[in-house]
Amino acid sequence: MSAGSEARRLVLKVGTSSLTYPNGKLNIRCIESLVRVISDLHNCGFEIVLVSSGAVGVGVSKLGLLARPADIRMKQAAAAVGQCELMHIYDKMFLEYGVTVAQVLLTRHNIAKAEHYANVEGSFEALLRMGVVPIVNENDVVSTEELDEIESFGDNDTLSAVVAQLCHADLLIIFTDIEGLYDANPRSDPNARLISRVDAIDDKLRAIAGGPGTAGGTGGMATKLSAAQLCMDSGISMLICKGDRAEVLYDIVEGKKVGTLFKKKEGLTHA
């Protein structure tokens, strides 16, 4: 059986490049199909947590800024504006299918102590039991990498792995702009081959994973590998796949071979 066909509780991470156009405006077609497929899977009995980026990108566009600001205060301001817009759209679209969503904004500080961790863990459990779809992002307004490397997750790949641990997910799915992890850079090497399954992350794989992917987001393959390591160490499988078609989620839950699967270590239970 594949990881997808066994999974009932899913965490899905969607990055800025899947949610917005390069000019920062919302890609309504993508968001609409994402919301439709998630709602359908939710109706079918899956419990789904969505980790959504896009706050800074959408804020930049809404404020009419020409580019992602380098200044921390401006970035925080853009995130505050963009997060609001993003949740407004999600709430409206999910409501069309009768699905209730919740906004969960996290910083590392919120889960640093055991009792804080348990508190957030309990909130996720309560939301999922009530059939709510939590939509998670880093609380970029108070937590910025530049201000505090210890407090900040820095990127939503890492955040999504932590969320998968917090809600004891069966599977973390990370949507990205390529099919998965390749044995060489597919953008420059035509012979690069997709790696369909990873059982252990070694130095060779780390060397293959390069820097950040696109200008709009922060994550690249390197942060995805760290996220995979976090998941695998906690007994959670992780899948990276191309997220331009939300319908790929159906293939995943039906157990079809998609993207790169980082298989959890057998015998481990969730952290």
- Binding site residues, ligand GLU, CB under 6 A: 15-16, 53-57, 137-138, 140, 155-156, 217-219
Beta-strand (E) ranges in 151-217? 171-176, 197-198
* Side-by-side strand order, sheet with 47-52: 101-106, 133-138, 47-52, 9-14, 171-176, 237-242, 260-262, 197-198
Instruction: Assess contact for 152 and 140: CB atoms under 8 A.
Output: no
- In the complex, the smallest distance separating the C-beta of residue 55 from ligand GLU, rounded to whole angstroms, is 3
Nearer Cβ to ligand GLU, position 138 or 170? 138
Nearer Cβ to ligand GLU, position 219 or 259? 219
Residues written for the chain: 271
Give the closest residue to 182 by CA, choosing from 132, 240, 138: 240
Q: Which two tokens stand for residue 27?
A: 């890609």
Reduced to 3 states, what is the DSSP secondary structure of residue 231? helix
- In the complex, the smallest distance separating the C-beta of residue 140 from ligand GLU, rounded to whole angstroms, is 5
- In the complex, the smallest distance separating the C-beta of residue 83 from ligand GLU, rounded to whole angstroms, is 7
Nearer Cβ to ligand GLU, position 176 or 260? 176
Q: Which two tokens stand for residue 194?
A: 């997709």
- In the complex, the smallest distance separating the C-beta of residue 146 from ligand GLU, rounded to whole angstroms, is 13
Q: Which two tokens stand for residue 79?
A: 């995130």
Nearer Cβ to ligand GLU, position 55 or 87? 55
Nearer Cβ to ligand GLU, position 47 or 155? 155
- In the complex, the smallest distance separating the C-beta of residue 179 from ligand GLU, rounded to whole angstroms, is 19
